[in-house]
Amino acid sequence: MSKLNVNDISKKIAPILNKIQKSKLSNGVSGGMMAAMPIILLGAFSALFLNLRIPAWKSFIAFSGIAHALNVAILFSTNFLAVAFVVTIAGSYAKQYKEEPMVPSLIALVCFFIVTPFTINEGVTTISMQWLGAAGIFSAIIIGLVSTRIYIYIKRKGFTIKMPASVPPVVANSFSSLIPAFAAIAVFLIVSTVFSGTHFETMHQFIYTFIQTPLQGAGGNIVTVVILWTFAQLLWFCGIHGTLVIYSVVLPIFTAMDTMQLSAYASGQALPNITGRAFVSTYTVSGSAIGFAILMLFVAKSKQYKALGKITTIPALFGISEPLVFGTPLVFNFKFFVPFVFLNGISLTIAYVLTAIGIVPRVAGISGMSGMPIIFSGFMEGSWKIAALQVALVLLSMLVWYPFFKKADKAAYIIEQKAEVK
Amino acid sequence: MKYITLVCAAGMSTSMLMAKMQTSADKQGIEATVIAMSESTFEEYKEHTDVLLLGPQIAYLEEDLKAQYEPKGIKVAVINMMDYGTMNGEKVLKDALAMLA
Angle between helices A222-237 and A242-266 (to 10 degrees): 150
Contact B56 A331 (CB under 8 A): yes
Cβ-in-10-Å burial (0-12, 13-18, 19+) of A91 comes to buried
Answer yes or no: is pLDDT of A142 > 90. yes
Segment 53-82 of chain B within 8 Å of chain A by CB: 55-61, 63-64, 80-82
A-chain residues within 8 Å CB-CB of B10? 244, 370
How large is the average pLDDT for residues A10-28?
73
Res. A15: pLDDT tops 80: no
Between A10 and A110, residue with greater pLDDT: A110
Neighbours of A282 (CB within 10 A): 26
Question: Do residues A108 and A141 touch, judged by C-beta distance below 8 A?
Answer: no
SS (H, E, C) A331-384: CCCHHHHHHHHHHHHHHHHHHHHHHHCCCCCCCCCCCCCCCCCCCHHHHHCCCH
Task: Render the burial of A14-41: b for 16+ CB within 10 Å, e for the rest.
Answer: beebeeebeebebbbbbbbbebbeebbe
Taking one residue from A and the other from B, the number of pairs with CB-CB distance under 8 angstroms is 73
- Say which range, A19-23, A339-343, A355-359, A388-392, has the weakest mean pLDDT: A19-23
Q: What is the pLDDT of residues A241-300, one digit of tens each?
A: 888 888 888 888 999 999 999 989 888 888 988 998 899 988 988 888 899 999 999 998
pLDDT at B26 over 50: yes
Residues of A at the B interface, defined by Cβ within 8 angstroms? 2-3, 6-7, 10-11, 13-14, 17-18, 21, 27, 31, 239-241, 244, 308, 311, 315, 320, 322-329, 331, 370-371
Tell me the pLDDT tens digit for each residue of A148-189: 999 999 888 876 677 787 878 777 777 778 888 999 999 999
Helix (H) or strand (E) holding B76: strand B75-78
Q: With 80 as the cut, is the pLDDT of residue A340 above it? A: yes
| % of chain B exceeding 90 in pLDDT | 10
Give the mean model confidence (pLDDT) for residues A373-387. Answer: 87
| Mean pLDDT across A11-18 | 68
Q: Is the pLDDT of residue A61 over 80?
A: yes
Look at strands B51-54 and B2-8 and give their pairing. Answer: parallel
Average pLDDT score over chain A: 87
Nearest CB neighbour to B57, from listed A13, A241, A311:
A241
Nearest to A112 by CA among A155, A80, A78: A80
Cα angle A202, A206, A210; round to 5: 175
pLDDT over 70 percentage in chain A: 94
Note whether B12 and A371 are within 8 A (CB).
yes
* Cross-chain residue pair A3–B80, CB shorter than 8 Å: yes
DSSP A166: T
B15 given a catalytic annotation: no
3-state helix, strand, coil in chain B (%, to 5): 55, 20, 25
Binned at pLDDT 50, 70 and 90, residue A85 comes out as: very high
- B90: nearest Cα among B4, B24, B16: B24
Q: Do A14 and B9 touch (CB under 8 A)?
A: no
Is B40 in CB contact (< 8 Å) with chain A? yes
Closest by CA to B59, choosing from A172, A21, A119, A255, is: A21
Residue A360: phi, psi to the nearest 5? Answer: -115, 135
Domain B2-100 has CATH 3.40.50.2300: yes
pLDDT at A88 over 90: yes
Checking DSSP bridges between strand A118-121 and strand A124-127, what pairing results, if any?
antiparallel
pLDDT tens-digit map of A192-235: 999 888 888 889 999 999 999 999 888 889 999 999 999 999 98
Nearest to A249 by CA among A25, A3, A14: A25
pLDDT, residue B64, reads 83
- Contact of B30 with B101, CB cutoff 8 Å: no
- Which residues, other chains included, contact A72 with Cβ-Cβ below 8 Å and sequence gap of 6+? none
Half-sphere exposure of A325 (CA within 13 A, CB side): 27
pLDDT at B10: 62
Question: In sequence order, which residues have a C-beta less than 8 Å from that of residue B63 and are 6 or more positions away?
Answer: A11, A14
Residues 6+ apart with CB under 8 A from A121: none
- Mean pLDDT, to the nearest integer, of A392-407? 92
The answer to whether residue A2 scores a pLDDT higher than 60 is no
Nearest Cα of chain B lies from the Cα of A166 at a distance, in angstroms, of: 31
Q: How far is CA A286 from CA A173, A220, A242, in A?
A: 48, 22, 12
Task: Give pLDDT, residue A11.
Answer: 64
On chain A, the residues whose CB falls within 8 A of the CB of B60 are: 10-11, 13-14, 17-18, 240
**CA distance from start to end of chain B:** 13
pLDDT computed for residue A226 by the predictor? 93
Question: How many Å apart are CA A87 and CA A108, to the nearest integer?
Answer: 6
The per-residue pLDDT for range B83-92, each reduced to its tens digit, is 888 888 899 9
Q: So where are chain A's domains? A: 26-212, 223-421
Q: Report pLDDT for B12.
A: 66
Task: Write phi, then psi, for A288 (nearest 5 degrees).
Answer: 60, 30
User: pLDDT digit string (tens) for A311-338?
Assistant: 889 888 888 888 888 888 888 888 899 9
